Chain A
Amino acid sequence: QVQLVESGGGVVQPGGSLRLSCAASGFTFRSYGMHWVRQAPGKGLEWVAFIRYDGSNKNSADSVKGRFTISRDNSKNTLYLQMNSLRTEDTAVYYCAKDFTIFGVVMMPFDYWGQGTLVTVSS
C-alpha cells in the first residue's frame, strides 16, 4: 500500500534552516509528481511546493519562494524540502502528498498524504 513518511521537523530559531524528507513506498515514486502542503496550528491548508515526476519542473508559493527548495531523489524514493531563512510564520505541520495521476502534466489532486511533520520556528 502507498506510504508517505515525513521526517526532519523540529524546533528552529528564526533565520535557521531545516531539511524535511518524505520517504515513499508502495508505488512507482519516479512516475508521480509530488507536493508539500502545510498547516499552521489551528489553521487551514496551504500549498507550498510541487515537483514534477522527473524533477524537470517545480513550482512554489510566493510565501516561500527564494527560501524553500523542493527536490527529489528518485533512486531513493524520497522527496525533500530545504527550508532556509525560516520565519515564525513558517510554523506548521508539513505534509507531503502524491499526485493522483501518473506522469501528470497538469495539476492533479492529491490522493495520498503523509502523516505530517511539525516545524516550529521560535526563539
Chain B
Amino acid sequence: DIQLTQSPSFLSASVGDRVTITCRASQGISSYLAWYQQKPGKAPKLLIYAASTLQSGVPSRFSGSGSGTEFTLTISSLQPEDFATYYCQQLNSYPSTFGQGTRLEIK
C-alpha cells in the first residue's frame, strides 16, 4: 500500500499568514493526489484534485503543487474559516490512502 506522510501534523498560524502543508508519498503517484479540508463534526470537503486543480467554488487562496512523491498545499492568506484539519489522499492505486492529517489552529 502507498503511504502518505503529511508535515507538519500540527500548525499554529495567524489570520493573514501564508502556510504550506507537505504530503510525501512512499512511491511515485504521478499527479493522482487530492486535498481535503475537514472541520470538527463535519464531512471532509474536496479542495484540490489532480495535485493542482482547484475544485469549483474553492477560494483561490488555496493552491496545490507537486508530482511524483512530493506535494504541497498552500494557503496564501489565512482566513478565520480556514482553521481546520487538512488531509491529502492518493488516487493512484487501490487501496486509496489518506495522510494522517494536519491540524491548523489559530495562534
Contacts and interface: CB of A to CB of B under 8 A. Distances in A.
Contacts of A110: 34, 44, 46
Given A45-B87, A59-B95, A61-B95, A116 B43 contact: yes
Interface stretch (B14-22, B65-73, B97-105): B97-105
Nearest to A61: B95
A45 B43 contact: no
A113 B1 CA distance: 24
A18 B71 CA distance: 38
A108 to B, nearest CB: 7
Contact of A115 (B43, B89, B94, B100): B43
Nearest to A96: B43
B44 A46 contact: no
Interface in B1-57: 1, 32, 34, 36, 38, 42-46, 49, 55
Interface in A67-123: 95, 100, 106-111, 113-116
A84 B82 CA distance: 38
B98 A107 contact: no
Instruction: Report whether over half of chain B's contact residues are helix, strand or loop; otherwise say mixed.
Output: loop
B96 A44 contact: no
A53 interface: no
A47 interface: yes
16 contacts: A44-B98, A45-B44, A47-B95, A47-B98, A50-B94, A62-B1, A100-B46, A107-B96, A109-B34, A109-B89, A109-B91, A110-B34, A110-B44, A113-B45, A114-B43, A115-B43
The 5 closest A-B pairs by CB, nearest first: A113-B43, A109-B34, A109-B49, A107-B91, A47-B96
Given A59-B94, A95-B44, 9 more contacts: A45-B101, A47-B97, A50-B94, A50-B96, A95-B43, A100-B46, A107-B91, A111-B46, A115-B42
